[in-house]
Amino acid sequence: MKHSVAIGLVATVGALLSFQSHATSLYQAVVSSTPKAGEYGSIKDALQNAPEDKSTYSIYIKPGLYNEQIIIDRDNVHFIGAGRDRTIIAKAIAAGMKGDNGKNIGTSGSRVVEINGKDFTAQSLTIRNDFDYLTNDSKAKDDPSKIKQTQAVALLLGKKSDRSAFYDVSLEGFQDTFYSKGGRSYFNNSRISGTVDFIFGNGLVIFDNSDIVARYRPNQELPLGYLTAPSTNEEQAFGLVFINSRLIKEDNRVPAASYALGRPWHPTTTFQDGRYADPFAMGSTTFINTEMDDHIYGWDKMHGKDINGESIWFTPEDGARFSEYKSYGSGASKEGYRPQLSDNDATKFTIENMLDGWQPIFLAAQNTTVKGIVSAHLMNFPAQITLSDQYGRKASTTTDKHGAYQLKIKDFIPPFVVSAAEQNTDCLSNNTLRGICMAALYAPTKPQLEQNINININPFSDLILSDTATASGYLGPQQVMSSPKLPLIFSAEEYASSIARFHQGFDNSLHDLGLPKHFDPVQYQPQWQPAFAQLTQWLWSNRNYQTKVGEVADSTLMDRFFQPLLVPDLQGKVAAFDLSAIQKRQQQVDTVPHRVFIIGDSTASNYPQAVAPRMGWGQTFQENFDTQKVQVINGAQSGRSSRSYYNQGWFRYLSSMMHSGDYLLIQFGHNDEKCDASSARRGPYDVANTCTYPNNADGQIQAPAGQESLSFQRSLEFFIDYAKSHQITPVLLTPVTRMKTMKGKNEFTVVSTHFTTQNSTKGFAFTGNYSQTIKDTAQANNIALLDIEIRSIELANTLGEENWKDYWLAVDPIKFPYYKDRAGRLDKPDITHFQEKGAKAVAKLIAKEIRQTPKLKTLSDSTID
């Protein structure tokens, strides 16, 4: 898990894990060839630790080669690989090798993976028998090292197996690659390769939209092999069935007419009167709408033993149930013995009919309606809806003007991720205004897939997806929608944990609104929408920004007044949401004579208790005013420049609360300065998404030709112009100082650092002084200026070399373990951010500056000295 779970969360997570135990493609265990903490080093180890109940046990098998021989006796095991070519289970073993008893292990003993449980599924991996068949085949007959029994099974479905499903799976071997001893199984979008009888047995197996690959055997007379060898019991209606598939060859060395479609296998069986070829094994193989390359020549015979032990031949005409329907390609033919199904007989070969009521999970959502409601305060409708399945298939529609949507999906494989975005919005953008984007993860249980599906999208669904995605290796929700890493793979534990955190934070408010105790923010029914909408209007949901790669990242959730609630990196701690308290605060905000709104960066922003004692000055600013006269709304956000604060949508949220008569305090600079394109890793991203350029020494704006919006002054003037046009009083603040001292001096002297100079790599397009640019901008626009940089420098120098650490962030990691491995501890101070004492001191400095600024006389009368 990404979070260490808070007290009281564990039991809730356990209950939700139990509830979600049958959800598809959410893993409970991870196997890695290079395991980290919490991961298994082998598939066997993961299986040995499966729950003793019959719940689905999903194992995510990371990329790697796993040299294991595996037997699965448990029901409801699910293998999820990272891709056919990335997750490989392999073992070199053949029937003629000796077992512990000194005898040949035989065909069944040669399997790499054996399934004896029910409802096994596997996806996006390879199971391979690495026995070197070709080298062994090339040895002389009298070579003592040559193995005579060359059957080498990759996958064996045992007699106790049933309802085994495979998607995007490759089975690789030569002779006897895949052996089905019974039960029903289904393959989709898969690949089975081999030479002799490499798909065989008496089970019912459907190969849907799959590739059957014939391999080359050098120095071998024709035929080179046989695709199938069914031993289907005569009372069983269906055997090996290939639908909408392709019979292809490994490469051009495989000659024409070298492989038979199959031959009838009558396995030697013990009866009361002796041991001989099973007369009841009337093999059944059918090809429907299957493309056949030129290596196919039809059907062939197979030998067995009679009651006297003599060799006899069984021909395709001797009762075997071999047939085709609408075969095509160079290997398709109706000449010779190529029995064809009639149109009427072909209707019996539907997947639903053959599987007799079992619907593999990979067949779910064949013609399903997905519907839901998008709930987001300020979101413009109609919005664009995009549904993506586990393998990246997409379906799209738009909502109505109320946020409701509906779309049909066919052949989509869960889990589903549904994204809602305002129209004409690039949800990955950080260099232009980004609209509101949210998404939801739906990981259904199997019964849920047999009905129409509700997938609602809202701030909570987005956060649940975000937590689950980031814990599973994604940068954030938006990367899931466009991820080249398929299949989409998610942690069941993190999914349950995030839902539990939602309930711990919001259950009281849900109860106050009359919503049910186990309210599901993704699956709720439409009758709960009016009450739920009342909750979402008090929240802001947004996507964070990952500076190292320049992309939108994980999600954050704040209340109406920008207090962090369920946000990343809170170590599992939950800030409970008090709806009644927020509503009371809103009443107070609506009735005071003056309101002060703050926009800025991390030096001013609000912080949750989990990162205490870190605090922004805006968090304490209210203490400097009479609450009956002034209410402060702090919208400052960590890591934002003047440009990214607007582009990432934060100003949109804040400005929706503003009206005439308000004050807007604007303090940027720390992040606007990030304009060194040559800086390692993040330089180009900073320039593209964050950087603004300061004025030159003459006070003239600097920016690339035709891009004046990239100047710091023009960026600040956007907020100033907005404020003036809405009869709001804008106030510019220079940024607070960093705790940097003069180099080469013995005395402790903090100096200004808010300027850039050209470096040896010529990384800056323009350089200059950011604090001076703020002063230039205030003068050019005739607005109030508070020079907080100079005042914070004075504060730092007054505190001196030791005492400043009580104000800026330099804390004992024993007392505050959050800072054990990060900047902010005593031996590695954070020279930019404050702890409580510093935040309050800076807030007082700003209040004092307001009192000394004539243009702010009305506001200064409400300050508390």
CA distance 401 to 760: 55
Q: Is residue 843 classed as helix, strand or coil in its secondary structure?
A: helix
In this predicted structure, what is the pLDDT of residue 482? 87
Q: What is the pLDDT of residue 20?
A: 42
248 near 284, Cβ under 8 Å? no
Q: Give the count of beta carbons closer than 10 Å to the beta carbon of residue 65.
A: 14
DSSP string, 197-266: EEEEESSEEEEES-EEEEPP-TT-PSP-EEEEEE--BTT-S--EEEES-EEEESSTTS-TT-EEEE----
DSSP 604: T
Residues of the chain with pLDDT below 70 are: 1-25, 364-366, 446-451, 567-575, 742-746
Give the pLDDT of residue 368. 84
Confidence (pLDDT) at 411: 83
CA atoms of 330 and 507, how far apart (whole Å): 65
Helix (H, G, I), strand (E, B) or coil at 809: strand
Beta strands 404-409 and 368-373 are antiparallel
Helix 459-471 with 492-512: angle, nearest 10 deg: 160
Who's near 486: CB < 8 A, 6+ residues apart?
Answer: 83, 124, 390, 391, 392
Q: How far apart are the first and last CA of the chain?
A: 48
- Work out the angle at residue 279's Cα, subtended by the Cα atoms of residues 273 and 283, and round it to the nearest 5 degrees: 150
Which of the 8 DSSP states describes residue 737?
Answer: P
Among 632, 635, 631, CA closest to 593? 631
Q: What pLDDT, on the 0 to 100 scale, is given for residue 18?
A: 40
The whole-number pLDDT of residue 10 equals 40
- Centre a 10 Å sphere on the Cβ of residue 804 and count the other Cβ atoms it contains: 20
Q: Quick one: pLDDT at residue 13?
A: 41
Residue 22: what pLDDT? 44
Report how far residue 294's alpha carbon sits from residue 286's, in angstroms, rounded to the nearest whole number: 18
Residues belonging to the active site = 176, 197
102: left (phi over 0), alpha (psi -120 to 50) or beta: left
Residue with structure tokens 């037997």?
Answer: 71
What is the amino acid identity at position 742? M
pLDDT tens for residues 32-78? Answer: 999 999 999 999 999 999 999 888 999 999 999 999 999 999 999 99
C-alpha 434/C-alpha 305 separation (Å) is 74
Q: Identify the pLDDT of residue 367.
A: 75
Would you say 625 and 843 are in contact if contact means Cβ atoms under 8 Å apart? no
Name 518's Cβ contacts closer than 8 Å, sequence gap at least 6: none
pLDDT at 219: 85
CA 359/CA 361 separation, integer angstroms:
6
- Please give the pLDDT value at position 412: 87
Structural contact between residues 216 and 237, judged by C-beta atoms closer than 8 angstroms:
no
Rounded Cα distance between 75 and 158, Å, is: 13
**Closest Cα partner for 491 from 38, 166, 76?**
38
Give alpha helix (H) positions in 540-641.
Answer: 579-591, 617-620
What does the H/E/C string look like for 34-89?
CCCCCCECCHHHHHHCCCCCCCCEEEEECCEEEECCEEECCCCEEEEECCCCCEEE
d(C-alpha 552, C-alpha 435), whole Å:
12
The secondary structure of 452-489 as a DSSP string is: -EE--BSHHHHHHHHHHHHHTT-SSHHHHHT-SS-S--
